[in-house]
């Protein structure tokens, strides 16, 4: 698979990444089962077979079990640690943690960043994360605390590089202003059904209440050499299998993706991901299916180059309107 050089690092990352949220099984405190472990090994093996070397985690996935089972995978598939990149995230806290009345919240305190990272390393059974991301913006962030935590984790060799997830340009600028090392990643939701970052650019000076605010995220990241990662790049499969009550444009989009897949002798997953890969930012989709066949189908996107006309055809259908 094609590799990207991740700016301000010595990392060569696969064009497509594997998101490990689903490999941990149920989101509760039940123990890992042999079946979950076996399925995780099969999923990771398929990703490796497809040329993926980048694996994305978060401390909350399956309440820690996704990292835990990946640690078992690392022991089962000998010798892969030196050939893969492991990224994790921290900052989200569940309701009831640590007290029953505690609300769900975001926590970028020094103590939580350090504690969460150490816990992730323990579950993964490794000494160092390649990349650590802050999961969702915390309105109570004290950037000096974040800088202190990042500096400690980096100095002690526990984290090599840092980034964010779901941040806007102002939040990235504010945080970067207090850091001695550059942010290298921003992971945001992007898909044909969640295309606000692209509408952002073409709706300049236009009135529209339909689209979410995404002002300048792509431009900022490109200007500052921050790699954009796309979570939920196929909208949980809704792109391929729209519900009965889905909008007409979603059903039309699914048909067009199928048409292109047949024309190009490839898979529907490859077409949907190739749409993201066409963008000049070098977006890195984070695929999350646990099915080996779908993982391999997704990796075929690396071989597909959509034309401008095909890209805009899919974009226009997904928008439900022509471009202005």
Condensed to tens digits (0 to 9), the pLDDT of residues 279-313 reads 999 999 999 999 999 999 999 999 999 999 999 99
3-state secondary structure string across 232-259: CCCHHHCCCCCCCCCCHHHHHHHHHHHH
Which helix (H) or strand (E) segment holds residue 56: the answer is: strand 54-56
User: What count of residues does the chain have?
Assistant: 324
Q: What is the largest CA-CA distance in the chain?
A: 56
Percent of residues in the chain assigned helix, strand, coil, to nearest 5: 45, 15, 40
pLDDT at position 202 is 82
pLDDT class of 201 with cuts at 50, 70, 90: confident
Q: Cis peptide leading into 117, omega within 30 of 0? A: no
On whether residue 257 sits in a domain, the answer given is no
258 falls within a domain: no
Question: Domain range for residue 181?
Answer: 3-238+269-304
User: Stretch 311-321: mean pLDDT, rounded?
Assistant: 96
pLDDT per residue as tens digits for the range 80-130: 999 999 999 999 999 999 999 999 999 999 999 999 999 999 999 999 999
Per-residue pLDDT band for 211 (boundaries 50, 70, 90) equals low
Active site residues: 61
Is residue 256 a part of any domain in this protein?
no
| H or E, element range at 130 | strand 129-134
pLDDT at 209: 57
Q: Quick check: is 203 in a domain? A: yes
Is the pLDDT at 156 greater than 60? The verdict is yes
What CATH number is given to the structural domain containing 143?
3.20.20.100
pLDDT greater at residue 111 or residue 29: 111
Q: Would 108 be classed as within a structural domain?
A: yes
- Indicate whether 163 belongs to any domain: yes
Q: Give dist(CA 133, CA 59) in Å, integer.
A: 11
Q: What percentage of the chain exceeds 90 in pLDDT?
A: 91
d(CA 82, CA 53): 10
E strand spans, 153-257: 159-165, 183-189, 227-231
* Confidence tier at 206 by pLDDT (50, 70, 90): low
- The answer as to whether 321 is a domain residue is no
Q: What pLDDT is attached to residue 244? A: 87
- Domains of the chain: total: 1
- The percent of residues above 70 in pLDDT, for the chain, comes to 97
Gyration radius from the chain CA atoms: 20
Tell me, yes or no, whether 311 lies in a domain.
no
């Amino acid at each position: 698979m094609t590799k990207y050089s991740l700016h301000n690092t010595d990392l060569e990352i696969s064009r497509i990444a594997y998101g490990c949220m689903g490999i941990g099984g149920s989101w509760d405190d039940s123990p890992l089962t042999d079946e979950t472990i076996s399925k995780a090994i099969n999923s990771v093996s398929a990703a490796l077979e497809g040329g993926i070397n980048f694996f994305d985690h978060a401390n909350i996935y399956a309440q820690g079990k996704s990292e835990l089972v990946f640690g078992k995978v690392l022991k089962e598939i000998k010798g892969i640690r030196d050939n893969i990149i492991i990224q994790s995230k921290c900052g989200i806290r569940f309701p009831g943690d640590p007290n029953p009345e505690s609300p769900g919240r975001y926590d970028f305190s020094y103590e939580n960043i350090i504690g969460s990272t150490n816990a992730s390393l323990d579950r993964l059974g490794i000494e160092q994360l390649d990349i650590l991301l802050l999961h969702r913006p915390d309105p109570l962030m004290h950037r000096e605390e974040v800088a202190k935590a990042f500096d400690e984790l980096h100095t002690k060799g526990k984290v090599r590089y840092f980034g964010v997830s779901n941040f806007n340009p102002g939040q990235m600028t504010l945080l970067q202003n207090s850091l001695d090392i550059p942010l290298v990643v921003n992971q945001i939701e992007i898909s044909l059904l969640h295309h606000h970052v692209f509408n952002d650019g073409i709706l300049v000076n236009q009135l529209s209440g339909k689209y979410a605010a995404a002002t300048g995220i792509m431009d900022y990241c490109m200007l500052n050499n921050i790699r954009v990662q796309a979570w939920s790049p196929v909208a949980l499969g809704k792109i391929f299998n729209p519900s009965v009550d889905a909008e007409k444009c979603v059903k039309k989009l699914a048909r067009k993706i199928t048409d292109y897949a047949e024309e190009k002798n490839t898979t529907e997953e490859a077409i949907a991901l190739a749409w993201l890969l066409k963008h000049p930012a070098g977006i890195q989709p984070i695929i999350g299916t646990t099915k080996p066949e779908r993982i391999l189908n997704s990796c075929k996107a690396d071989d597909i180059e959509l034309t401008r006309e095909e890209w805009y055809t899919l974009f226009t259908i997904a928008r439900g309107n022509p471009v202005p």
